[in-house]
Chain A
């Protein structure tokens, strides 16, 4: 976001001379030209506005309204006020879904961010290869569904290579997806595998933006590697790190695909994350009102997290601009 603002101000500086000139030379024409640009702008914006109004704005309003209704498709929605929200407040499946989602987010984002940071530092120090970067980001380009299925197969209890290796080493087999206490962690790690490289490339770009002389100064002062990382790299990387954290936390709160093709919320409720619960309510029980209310709650949580993270990590300020 900071880059946009900067560009904006640069642009308005460029602009200033030309309207001023227009004003002095042809004062009448200026107004006319502005209007004509508004008309052209409207024409250019027609298709995008249709998309925005019909498929973002209107559904958002409608979704909010539906959350106050009893709407069992195909019957018509009936306004019931806050009843859905009251029911949700005492819905154990909802609270469990929040707990399970949180478990996923903590494992997924925690491991992923730490691993990506390490990987980014490794890349910065030891390789400039485009091939390495391409390989590292490959999993991110493969569909969630495919990644989920491949790992489901790798971790299969009977034939999967992971359990076959464990077995040949004389260890017990592990039901990675079938064990209630392991399933969510397994799913979180599968998506760490998918996102690690992508996240590390974002952080890597942030690392490269740190001026070299800061490191040189730290080295002159005799700071050790860990000290440099903790006192120089990490603080200067903070804006990028904050951005990455907001994106990954908001993204992983919406975990769905992996669950839908592997555990389907099970065993018992162990992987019934909030997004999957919304899907089940809406499309398996056709309870759109209740599902909409759940979606509203999810949105409030996500906006809250984004705002909170931005504030805590002071995302917009860089330590470079003192």
Chain B
């Protein structure tokens, strides 16, 4: 016992002395902590800034000042030529390739395809999630388990047969062909919504049943409005995912009327001359493809960050 008392007293003495030391130490660690965070933010933002800087530079003038932090010989030219607004001569004069590139069209295609996929997918997945969360039927959890297995299957495995299927249906080079495999459901969407539907207050549903409401009415008038914030979040997450998707739309949509932005970018890159690439044009195209995402993050930032923190599945 005595030993213990001495031990604790010594600890107490050490603690008061340590207090001053830890104050100084915490100030130092605060400084270095903040510095490290600032560094991470700088490394995160610099490449994005560089995309802007290059997109407004004159491609011909750029090689003379590779270190300039501001756009070299500021110009709207790169944006104009990727949006199909510049004449081939004007494009060539600024170091573009003169090939016709129309990111305005690809933007429209991307918006169409992603809206089609996301609206249908979220609707159908919400219906399925309702059946899995709030309806009582035999084998429900088993069927749900089978749906979840699809989460484990790597994309490339189903991609090959799906490509053959879409080809056989004659839907290559169409927006519908791009949308088809994803627009009925995805296990993730069902899983995500089911979790929120499970939390819906059952008394409200019971009351609606007593009032004689059918299941569709309960679904569309009660459950969907109650889970609306989560449905919007899911919509945004999925929209971004399909906006950024590359391999499937690259395989299925090669025509001008079905080429998505990511695909257009990839093709633009492979067409740009090896020795003297149109970096400004390429970055302008990247900018056009990325700006909608920046806007979504500005408007829905809290929702997006929050959803990824809470659900954690993706």
Interface residues of A (CB under 8 A from B): 3-4, 7-8, 11, 14-15, 18-19, 34, 37-38, 40-41, 44-45, 47-52, 54-60, 62-63, 66, 73, 118-119, 122-123, 125-127, 130, 132-139, 141-147, 149-154, 156, 158-161, 164-165, 168, 193, 196-198, 201-202, 204-205, 222, 240, 243, 247, 250, 253-254, 256-257, 260-261, 275, 278-279, 282-283, 288, 291-292, 295-296, 298-299, 302-303, 306
Is B153 within 8 A of A60, CB to CB?
Answer: yes
Query: Using an 8 Å CB-CB cutoff, how does the interface string of B198-229 with A read, 1 for contact, 0 for none?
Result: 11001000100000000100010000000000
| A205 surroundings in chain B (CB, below 8 A) | 309-310, 312
**B125, B155, B158: which contacts A48 (Cβ < 8 A)?**
B125
Q: How far is the CA of A124 from the CA of B244 in the complex (A)?
A: 30
Interface mask (B214-248 → A, CB under 8 Å = 1, otherwise 0): 01000100000000000000000000100111110
Known: A37-B136, A44-B128, A48-B125. A204 touches B309 (CB 8 A): yes
Provide the B286-301 mask, 1 if CB < 8 A to any CB of A, else 0: 1001100110110001
A136 CB to closest chain B CB (Å) equals: 6
Q: Which residues of B contact A144 (CB under 8 A)?
A: 244, 246, 262
Q: CB distance A59 to B165 under 8 Å? A: yes
A44 to B220, CA, bound (A): 12
Assembled-state Cα–Cα distance A228/B9 (Å):
23
Task: Kindly state the separation between the CA atoms of A261 and B282 in the bound complex, as whole angstroms.
Answer: 12
User: B198 and A7: CB pair below 8 A?
Assistant: yes
Q: How far is the CA of A186 from the CA of B153 in the complex (A)?
A: 28
Tell me the chain B residues, 134-151 only, with Cβ under 8 Å from chain A: 135-138, 140-141, 143, 147, 150
User: What is the predominant secondary structure among interface residues of chain B facing chain A?
Assistant: helix
- Report B-chain residues with C-beta under 8 Å of the C-beta of A134: 297, 301, 304-305
Partner of A44, one of B131, B157, B202: B131
- The DSSP consensus for interface residues of chain A is helix
Q: Which of B223-277 contact A (CB under 8 A)?
A: 240, 243-247, 250-251, 261-262, 265-266, 269, 277
Residues of B within 8 A of A196 (CB): 40
What 12 new A-B contacts, CB under 8 Å, besides A127-B37, A145-B244?
A: A7-B199, A34-B138, A48-B125, A52-B185, A54-B184, A153-B50, A154-B47, A159-B63, A202-B309, A261-B266, A291-B160, A295-B154
Task: Digitize B30-58: 1 where CB-to-A-CB distance is under 8 Å, 0 elsewhere.
Answer: 10011011001101110110110010000
